[in-house]
Amino acid sequence: MAESIQLTAPNNVTYTQPTGLFINNEFVPAQSGETLTTVNPFDESIIAAVASAGTDDVDLAVAAAREAFQAPEWRSMGASERGLLLCRLADLCERDQEILATIDAWDNGKPYDSALNEDVAEVISVFRYYGGWADKIQGRTIETSDAKLAYTRHEPVGVCGQIIPWNYPAMMAAWKLGPALACGNTVVLKAAEQTPLSILYLATLVKEAGFPKGVVNVLNGSGTVAGAAIAGHLGVDKIAFTGSTPTGKAIMKAAANNLKAITLETGGKSPLLVFEDANLDQAVKWSHVGIMSNMGQICTATSRIYVQDSIYDTFVEKFKQYTIENSKVGSQFDPAVNHGPQVSKTQRDRILQYVESAKSEGAELVLGGGVPQAGDKGYFIEPTIFKDTNREMKAVREEVFGPFVVIQAFNSQEDAIKKANDTEFGLGAAVFTENITRGHKVAAAIEAGMVWINSSQDSHFAIPFGGYKQSGIGRELGEYALSAYTQVKAVHVNLGSWL
Ligand code: ADP
């Protein structure tokens, strides 16, 4: 198999697509010769076949990362120079932003405009942001007595296995690579099997930026083979994972074999509370953004809406109208479209099952619930709204990961908080109120890693991202992510003399 091919995307962008595994700064075939194919979810056409890693390829990538971690080219590189490499990578992503956005739109199904102005814009910002951090990672001196000098060093953890999902391919890679590299680690990153293409392209930019060989290695492959091999590898010191909660649990178990450090960003069922004193138009707008953006394929999607009973009917009607007027379903490359297909048939069919279960459990369908006619083929789902739901329903308890929202009423602030927290997840939450005291009190009472007051989903690379309860362990983004990629060494210096 050739390790790269020329591709022309539906928007006529032509580029060279690597198709191998990226190990030691070279693209190589899988040792077994196995490949996996990736499809355009809009029309189900095959885009490319890429190498699919087996456990022997994982061994090679981990060995490359270990050697790079110990080699002076990386280990002794000045922190500022490491930062410059990340900034150079940001510049290259900016230069090739249209290619990266084209690939993610094509491979994932997300509208090109979002891929360019949200995903790739964030990729560039994240690499610049962590480029800036590289030479600001500092230990402390600790006062004890005149006889002792004690200080801490914040050292890299070592070889980091990073396993990412398909909903924001390039962006998830940047969230993981940025802090890991700023802190001086080396990486074996596995792309999701549905969306490997932009990560492989990113690997070409890693090499062009000048990272020494073996510092970043990129594998594609199935979760149960390549992913599981990374999670359980004795040569890997840390695992960072984003994906579903069941997979997060499997990874945590596998990572226990050598007590790997772990960060997990897993599922969510985030509540959005609308109080009667809210600005209703704003609440409606953000409720739409909170669940329909990226076709609902966001771990923090505000997928459970709770509305105070006095404004319940008005809110439901306005939300329905807003969704009808603002959901333009179709090809990800049509500039008028803001709602593309789901990533895969599996995901589309899974969402349809939740539609059936919500109906059979007595929820009232307000909008959607079916497969729209956006073309002859493609994995489309209509924006779907259910009202009059309750805590016993499967669609209220489980993460659906689609443009699918359940609404129910609450009658007091206490009731709202109780309902919001009635979940095994704790990733995000949103509160709509014009009462400043209520906003902060409810934010404090919510069991979630992120609370938006009067917005939803407007995360930022400088602000920590992560979950409470079964939504994860540790934080990504911001300064907080640095602690996930460093370990602290205490150095004791005896300044006294033996008594
Ligand atoms: P989804 O069900 O939406 O595909 P997953 O959580 O299964 O989400 O997948 C997220 C990432 O985890 C992907 O890169 C996938 O290949 C990987 N993965 C899946 N299963 C495993 C596993 N058992 N061990 C390690 N990685 C896995």
pLDDT given for residue 1 in this prediction: 47
pLDDT tens figures, 449-478: 999 999 999 999 999 999 999 999 999 999
- In one-letter notation, the amino acid at residue 232 is G
Residue ranges of the chain assigned to CATH 3.40.605.10: 4-266+472-488
Q: Given ligand 1 and candidates 50, 52, 163, 222, which is best to mutate, with the most ligand atoms within 8 Å of its CB? A: 163
pLDDT tens figures, 109-150: 999 999 999 999 999 999 999 999 999 999 999 999 999 999
- If residue 220 lies in a helix (H) or strand (E), which one and from where to where? none
Tokens representing residue 413 in the block: 């602030």
Over residues 209-226, the mean pLDDT reads: 98
Query: What's the CA-to-centroid distance between 41 and ligand 1, angstroms?
Result: 19
pLDDT given for residue 498 in this prediction: 72
String of DSSP letters for 35-52: EEEEE-TTT--EEEEEE-
Q: Report the nearest-CA residue for atom 27 of ligand 1.
A: 223
Query: What's the CA-to-centroid distance between 49 and ligand 1, angstroms?
Result: 19
Residue of 40, 53, 50, 57 whose CA lies nearest to 19? 50
Query: What's the CA-to-centroid distance between 243 and ligand 1, angstroms?
Result: 6
Q: Report the nearest-CA residue for atom 2 of ligand 1.
A: 244
pLDDT given for residue 497 in this prediction: 85
The ligand 1 atom nearest the CA atom of 244: 6
pLDDT given for residue 375 in this prediction: 66
Query: What's the CA-to-centroid distance between 411 and ligand 1, angstroms?
Result: 39
**Mean per-residue pLDDT of the chain:** 97
pLDDT given for residue 397 in this prediction: 98
Catalytic residue list: 265
String of DSSP letters for 126-158: HHHHHHHHGGG----EE---TTEEEEEEEEE-S
Superfamily of domain 271-461: Aldehyde Dehydrogenase; Chain A, domain 2 (3.40.309.10)
pLDDT tens figures, 302-341: 999 999 999 999 999 999 999 999 999 999 999 999 999 9
Residue of 95, 74, 96, 76 whose CA lies nearest to 85? 74
Q: What is the total residue count of the chain?
A: 499
* Helix, strand, coil percent values for the chain (each to nearest 5): 40, 25, 35
pLDDT given for residue 416 in this prediction: 98
pLDDT over 90 at 362, yes or no? yes
pLDDT tens figures, 155-179: 999 999 999 999 999 999 999 999 9
Higher pLDDT pick, 376 / 406? 406
Dihedral sign, Cα of residue 433, residue 438, residue 440, residue 443: negative
pLDDT-derived band at 372 (thresholds 50, 70, 90) equals confident
The ligand 1 atom nearest the CA atom of 193: 16
> How far apart are the C-alpha atoms of 27 and 204, rounded to whole Å?
9
- Per the CB < 8 A criterion, the answer to whether 455 and 431 are in contact is no
pLDDT over 80 at 499, yes or no? no
> How far apart are the C-alpha atoms of 237 and 216, rounded to whole Å?
15
Residue ranges of the chain assigned to CATH 3.40.309.10: 271-461
pLDDT over 50 at 436, yes or no? yes
pLDDT tens figures, 230-276: 999 999 999 999 999 999 999 999 999 999 999 999 999 999 999 99
Q: Given ligand 1 and candidates 55, 222, 247, which is best to mutate, with the most ligand atoms within 8 Å of its CB? A: 247
The ligand 1 atom nearest the CA atom of 347: 3
The ligand 1 atom nearest the CA atom of 167: 3
pLDDT tens figures, 19-55: 999 999 999 999 999 999 999 999 999 999 999 999 9
pLDDT-derived band at 210 (thresholds 50, 70, 90) equals very high
pLDDT over 50 at 101, yes or no? yes
Cβ < 6 A, ligand 1 pocket: 163-165, 190, 192-193, 223-224, 227-228, 231, 243-244, 247, 250-251
String of DSSP letters for 330-344: S-TT-TT--B---S-
Residue of 243, 320, 305 whose CA lies nearest to 275? 305
Terminal-to-terminal C-alpha distance of the chain = 71
Class of domain 4-266+472-488: alpha beta
- Per the CB < 8 A criterion, the answer to whether 486 and 156 are in contact is yes
